[in-house]
Amino acid sequence: MSRRQFALPERVSAAPLDDTGCTVLHVDMDAFYASATLLSHPELVGTPVIIGGGTRGVVLSATYEARRFGVASAMPMSRARRLCPQATVLAPDHELYARISAGVMETFRSVTPVVEPLSLDEAFLDVSGAVRRLGGPASIGQRIRDTVHDEQGITCSVGVAPSKFVAKLASNLAKPDGMVVVPRDEVVPFVQQLPVAALWGVGDRTEEALVRLGLRTVADIAHTPLATLVRGLGEATGHHLHELAWGRDPRPVEREQREKSVGSDQTFEADIDDAAEIRRRLLGLSERTAARMRAAGLTGRTVTLKVRFSDFTTITRSRTLREHTDSGRTLHAAAVGLFDALGLQRARIRLVGVRMTGLVPTREAPIQGVIGEPEHGWRDADRAVDRARARFGSGVVRPASLIERDTSRSQRDTSASVRRRRDLS
């Protein structure tokens, strides 16, 4: 479902209602990336802040104060700056996000083993098995909200309902920092009060098609003959929207599935044609990817390099390693090998990325020690760096080749009391 916001229907109160049978929760962090980043910038709380970087990048997240000016996720940074020129721009901290996400998911799993993550910052929970132990679904939702705030320092919104579809609608309406319970007997009137754009799967194009049919609310869809919907929208979409319009969603919450990949990429402020500088950027991306893997308790075998040229042509190259790894040093060596094999001569490059696939939990693929490596080698060093970053911030320990450039950049940027971070590296 789109992250568009809708006004809370009059029939449903944000106060806890009868939650009997409402065993599906949708929990969504509020402006997750922005909220997490502001943990290190408390002086900016309550002000417009955009998480992103560069003039060519896109918005990763924005505080609600910036969203009031029209700033939205995935919007080009150039447009976001025009809409809200007074906003402070901060660089993303993916290691921090992975660490907080792991803590949030652990909170979910402490309530119920039936957790279906949708992304780093949201998940469905089936709490039917936890009701006897922890109380009603609304009480469990409040417990989760309190725990996430106390342990992670961020807020989340919770939808409590009999089905996944309605729970997700409810959490969207609860934002920010709220909880909406949709009693089983109120599902149909709750859903049918909403605009058609609220339905799961209705994007801009489908919304336009519905409006052409004269359908502007979910109630309009519900009372339109199914044959008319199928004729106007197609077999699958017509049936899908008809079912949702009557609040029917039989899908169960599915236990979490393993992530298929972990990666990082970077769009440059200006095209780069220096191979040595590309290798340096690949080091930062490799270290970031490896740290995210370690935070998630994962190792992988296949390294993929992505290169996008100035004309937007994009190529990828992959290499499968002999052993699973979560080492930034190993990822970097593989990524550089793939880059050098391309034989690029002064090619103008717009973006590079590093991604690891073939992921398994670390406990399922123990990483073998390297012959000749000291007893306390690179893996111990990586974990020591992780601990330092967790305590003092992600920028406290970095490879030496990244520090010199970043130091000169920070010296240029310190003229303002609250400076805007203009580079993702």
pLDDT tens string 5-22: 444 554 444 445 688 999
Domain boundaries, the chain: 261-373
Q: What value does the mean pLDDT of the chain take?
A: 84
Binding residues: 28, 121
Bond preceding residue 113 cis, omega within 30 of 0: no
- DSSP states of 109-137 as a string? HHH-S-EEEEETTEEEEE-TTTHHHH-SH
Give me Rg for the CA atoms of the chain: 24
**Residue 122 known to be catalytic:** yes
Handedness of CA 388, 389, 393, 394 (dihedral sign): positive
Tokens 């809708």 locate to: 6
Q: Is the pLDDT of residue 220 over 70?
A: yes
What pLDDT score does 414 carry? 33
**Mean pLDDT comparison of 9-13, 78-82, 405-409, highest-scoring range:** 78-82
What pLDDT score does 423 carry? 36
Q: What is the pLDDT of residues 55-68, one digit of tens each?
A: 778 899 999 999 99
Q: Is the pLDDT of residue 362 over 50?
A: yes
Tokens 């109160």 locate to: 13
Evaluate whether 300 touches 326 at the Cβ level (below 8 Å).
yes
Question: Would you state the structure tokens that stand for residue 226, as one six-digit string?
Answer: 């199914």
Q: Which of 95, 116, 122, 186 is catalytic?
A: 122
Q: Is the pLDDT of residue 46 over 60?
A: yes
Question: Would you state the structure tokens that stand for residue 6, as one six-digit string?
Answer: 């809708």
Binding residues for Mg(2+): 28, 121
**Third-level CATH fold of 261-373:** Dna Ligase; domain 1 (3.30.1490)
What pLDDT score does 297 carry? 82
What pLDDT score does 422 carry? 34
137-175 burial, b at 16+ Cβ within 10 Å, e below that, comes to bbebbbbbbebbeeebebbbbbbbbbbbbbbbbbbbbbb
What pLDDT score does 295 carry? 83
Q: Which residues contact 87 (CB under 8 A, 6 or more apart)?
A: 47, 48, 49, 50, 62, 66, 69, 71, 80, 81
Q: Which amino acid is at 350?
A: R
Q: What are phi and psi of 408, to 5 degrees?
A: -65, -35
